[in-house]
A and B are shown apart, each in its own frame.
Chain A
Amino acid sequence: MKSAAKARSEFVSTATRPGFPPEQPQARKMPGPAKPLNIVAPQVEAERQRIRAKFDAGASAKETLHALCELADKIIQQIFGDVMKVHDTPNEGLALLALGGYGRRMLFPFSDLDILFLFENEKSEGEFRPFISEFSRTMWDLGFRVSSAGRTLDECKRIEEDNAEFHLALLDRRFLSGDQELFNKLDKRVLPPSEKQSRSFLFLQLHRLTKERLARYGNTIFHLEPNVKEAPGGLRDYQAAFWLRQILGDRPDLRGSTAADEELAADAVEFQSSIRCLLHYSNARNDNTLTYEMQEEAAKRSLSVRDGLERNAAEWMRLYFRHARTLNRQLLRYLDQKMAQPVSLRERFFSAARSVTRPEQPPSGAHFAIRSGQFEILDQPALADRSIIYSLFTEAARTGTMLSRDAERIITYVVSHSELHVRNQMMSWDTLKEILVADYPGVALRPMHRLGILMEILPEMRAIDSLVVRDFYHRYTVDEHSLRTIEHLQALAEPPDARGTSFAPVWKMQERRDLLVLALLLHDTGKGMPVENHVQGSLTALASAASRLELSPQEEAEVRFLIEHHLDMSATVQRRDIFDPATVSAFAATVGTLERLQRLCLLTYADIHAVNPEALTPWKAEMLWQLFVATANHLSRSLDRDRLHASDESSLLEQIQSATGGAPKTEIERFLEGFPRRYLAVHSATEIAQHFALYRKLGSAPLQTELKAERHGFSLTLLTADRPRLFSTIAGVLAGWGMNIIKADAFANAAGMVLDTFHFADLHRTLELNPSEVERFQASLTDVLSGTAALEPLLQSRESASRARPPKVAVTTGVSFDDAASAHSTLLEVVTQDRAGLLYDMGWALARLDCNIEVALIDTEGQKAIDVFYLTSRGKKLEPQKQEMLREVLQGTLG
């Protein structure tokens, strides 16, 4: 039914509505009020007080609502009877009906009385209108908020397409007073055929209205101060589910709800109704917001608590969310249903023919399959093997396909029945990583949390389960906020608005999403712990999770960094002058590397975004992006400036010494001295020890290489003395073998030793499918670098084998120089279209003009290559003339 104001005006406006004539001249006259109010009013008020006192003394919501309903019924019958009696008017042709919540006998203390005046025809409507006005006025004077509408029998048959609320409210009709025969006619003869005919319309309208309502509240039950009527999980969910059930009829597929489900729903309705009664009584109006103060009050009263345990407000709110979840789930289950459509003979024939030619059977042995765009479980008993459930979530995260409500119900059953012989319950870090690193981690993590599986894997999250932390800005519970951060990131695949556009490429190209998403899951867990500073609590949670999941020390360090600094970027944006180079420099020093900066930026973007829908204003998003860009540029331009002094790194020296079985410190110092600081930031102590081990072998062979398989390809580490064209030659060998370089670092130490790392994709799976080729590849590299084999034949064979494909996105080449970035090198930044052999071509052009690469940072972003080189020529910066020549050569080579 419409709001009180709208419905009242609706009745008043009946006088001018087409087909609803103005007051007729034959209308009966009104001599005055039916009965002195000073007699009835105190009685009504006393009865109201009695009902409230009983509620305060512990009466259930059900009893309270029934009592309020009985009082309203009694007064309506009395006042209506009196009005008719005073005017000596028989009530044939007019019936009073209760609709909506009042019709269902759920009348809250300050709710509207939804009443329909049903007229036999237009004539009777004209005759009765004056009495109705008098009746309504009297009811208002007695403190009832009457929200009324008037319809003739004929009008009730017609579907008002712009007023679905009225037809839905009519589903709850109940006779109150007046012409019983007229009501019976409507109830038994007029409405059933019209309702049957309009089922589809009502279903679609209710579906639309409900979806709009849920969206208004962010589609979540987890609000810090929820509206117990309108928000998801509130009483409106119950009402909508009830209507959907009526509209859909008693279908066998809906009878799946068990008696236990029904009992849970009844408990939830009682719980939410109690709160709503308390709110109405406390606020003395129809205000349904469960504010922090009212949460305290409800917890103090142990409102609707059956186990007799005392709870603080946060613990009591967890009960609230449990019940809200029950009502919301019940509604969503009904919302998932489709109206059964009549199927013609022709359609049946074609459907049968299709099922013969294209059977919908999934491959045998499949445990789940996608049907109607959602994952369905095919093999329920197989779910006792948890690895199958985990692989379902991995697929959901990979494809962005959601689990159907039924699939979730089946998993809930399996997870909650401990007597089932569960296998492979432990989820390894590798499996969890597959989910976290995928394109749609939120699609898997949300149901994993709902079903309790996420808390099995990360019990540290129990501390924030449905946790309300009072905060002026936050709108959601802590766990909901954490999940939303991840959903905001995955939405960057196709940014929904301008705020995310700049951040989208950073997310898409992020390689260690697993570390970022794990940090987001844990970053606020400290809020549920008795600690002074929640960040410290979250770090404790990480330590326990990392040890259980067996994260590598480097992985743990990266997640630790993100959690420890998760407020820093936002604080810098808001409290520092981000256009001051000193601010940028200090922030860059905190962050250390571009990779960390990218992850911290994404985390900050998501963290602010998930506070409330308005928190990330375009203004804040722009500030955040400005700080990110300035810091990223600072990091890549200060690479050459910040060099390592090995004697200052005593702790690192000790770690390497211990990892290498007591190598002399002076030797380690000689190896480390003069590397850019980035070298320390991007390699763990273990990796540095491995590099040092390679360094020690240089005496036996002047070129040391190490090839490792990675998630998306291989990494090649190479250590040798610096020489002209080294970088371009390595890039050439990789190109000759058909490898696509994705990232690369080239560092030189003070002694002229070069450590290059290339991360590349093996496009033709040469090394992956032919293990013997690994050896041949390394030998080829050694031969070319030592000069015993030529590079050109290798490149020519590749050129003839590869077919040039047109790029999907055209990237304009940009070449820029910066002389101020380093004291002794010139910085060259090249942005161009990525292609096979690109790095070789660039390296060759640099070598041709006698440019030495001191440091290189090679990166790709889709089809865009972004390469930064620190160059010297004969030990000095590049002269302006040489820069121009180089620009021309590069523009000519790269196009």
Chain B
Amino acid sequence: MMKLEAIIQPSRFESVKDALREVGIEGMTVTEVRGHGRQKGHTEVYRGREYTVDLLPKIKLEMVLPDKLVNTVVDTILKTAKTGKIGDGKIFISRVEEAIRIRNEERGESAL
């Protein structure tokens, strides 16, 4: 099992979610986050007051997947979240030791 974390543009979230549903991914954790990588933010002035947007809003998706689905999911996210501009986000993948469903204590991939 693998854990996949994807940081994407908020504007791409609906498309990514729909595309993931189409490849059979129903469950995910979604968090509203702020941060920056190379896209450093900018400053806006409104009515004489300066607003520095140094941490940009992003959406973080987290999901744990059976190994065989990882490539499909990565391809789907790349296809739907990419705009080609700085700030499109990143995907991180890591190995997961165990998954347990709290309700019935099922373990392993069947708990996903």
Binding site for B on A (CB under 8 A): 505, 573-579, 617, 619-620, 622-623, 625-626, 629-630, 632-633, 811-812, 814, 816, 829, 831, 861, 864, 866
Q: Given contacts A575-B11, A622-B57, is CB(A629)–CB(B48) below 8 Å?
A: no
B47 with A866: CB separation less than 8 A: yes
CB < 8 Å: which of B13, B33, B48, B83 contacts A814?
B48
B14 CB contacts on chain A under 8 angstroms:
574-575
The CA of A578 and the CA of B14, in the complex, are separated in Å by 15
User: How many positions in chain B have a CB within 8 Å of any CB in the partner chain?
Assistant: 20
B11 with A577: CB separation less than 8 A: yes
B42 CB contacts on chain A under 8 angstroms:
579
B44 CB contacts on chain A under 8 angstroms:
626, 629-630, 633
Q: Which of B10, B44, B47, B83 has most chain A Cβ within 10 Å?
A: B47
Binding site for A on B (CB under 8 A): 9-11, 13-14, 32-34, 42, 44-48, 51, 53, 56-57, 83, 87
Q: Which of A574, A619, A861 has most chain B Cβ within 10 Å?
A: A619
CB < 8 Å: which of B9, B11, B34, B53 contacts A619?
B34
Q: Given contacts A574-B10, A574-B14, A620-B32, is CB(A633)–CB(B57) below 8 Å?
A: no
Determine the residue in chain B with the shortest Cβ distance to A861: B47
Q: Given contacts A620-B32, A622-B57, is CB(A576)–CB(B47) below 8 Å?
A: no
**Minimum distance in angstroms from A882 CB to a CB of chain B:** 22
A866 CB contacts on chain B under 8 angstroms:
47-48
A632 CB contacts on chain B under 8 angstroms:
46
**Minimum distance in angstroms from A20 CB to a CB of chain B:** 38
Q: Which of B11, B13, B33 has most chain A Cβ within 10 Å?
A: B11
A619 with B32: CB separation less than 8 A: yes
A578 CB contacts on chain B under 8 angstroms:
11
The CA of A246 and the CA of B48, in the complex, are separated in Å by 60
CB < 8 Å: which of A505, A619, A812 contacts B57?
A619
A-B CB contact pairs (8 Å), 24 listed = A574-B10, A574-B11, A574-B13, A575-B14, A577-B11, A577-B83, A578-B11, A579-B56, A619-B32, A619-B34, A620-B32, A622-B57, A623-B10, A626-B57, A629-B44, A629-B51, A811-B48, A814-B48, A816-B45, A831-B47, A861-B47, A864-B47, A864-B48, A866-B47
A576 with B32: CB separation less than 8 A: no
B11 with A576: CB separation less than 8 A: yes
B87 CB contacts on chain A under 8 angstroms:
579
In the A-B complex, the 9 residue pairs with the closest CB atoms: A831-B48, A619-B32, A629-B46, A577-B11, A814-B48, A629-B44, A866-B47, A576-B11, A623-B57
Q: Which of A505, A573, A579, A829 has most chain B Cβ within 10 Å?
A: A579
The CA of A630 and the CA of B56, in the complex, are separated in Å by 14
B46 with A633: CB separation less than 8 A: yes
The CA of A579 and the CA of B83, in the complex, are separated in Å by 13
The CA of A622 and the CA of B55, in the complex, are separated in Å by 11
The CA of A623 and the CA of B11, in the complex, are separated in Å by 11
The CA of A630 and the CA of B57, in the complex, are separated in Å by 15
B9 with A577: CB separation less than 8 A: yes
Determine the residue in chain B with the shortest Cβ distance to A830: B48
**Minimum distance in angstroms from B60 CB to a CB of chain A:** 11
Additional A-B contact list (9), CB under 8 Å, known A617-B32, A623-B10, A626-B51: A576-B11, A577-B9, A619-B32, A629-B51, A632-B46, A814-B48, A831-B48, A866-B47, A866-B48
Determine the residue in chain B with the shortest Cβ distance to A814: B48
A812 CB contacts on chain B under 8 angstroms:
48
**Minimum distance in angstroms from A893 CB to a CB of chain B:** 17
The CA of A287 and the CA of B98, in the complex, are separated in Å by 33
**Minimum distance in angstroms from A177 CB to a CB of chain B:** 41
The CA of A633 and the CA of B53, in the complex, are separated in Å by 15
**Minimum distance in angstroms from A58 CB to a CB of chain B:** 37
The CA of A578 and the CA of B87, in the complex, are separated in Å by 12
B45 CB contacts on chain A under 8 angstroms:
633, 816
B48 CB contacts on chain A under 8 angstroms:
811-812, 814, 829, 831, 864, 866
B46 CB contacts on chain A under 8 angstroms:
629, 632-633
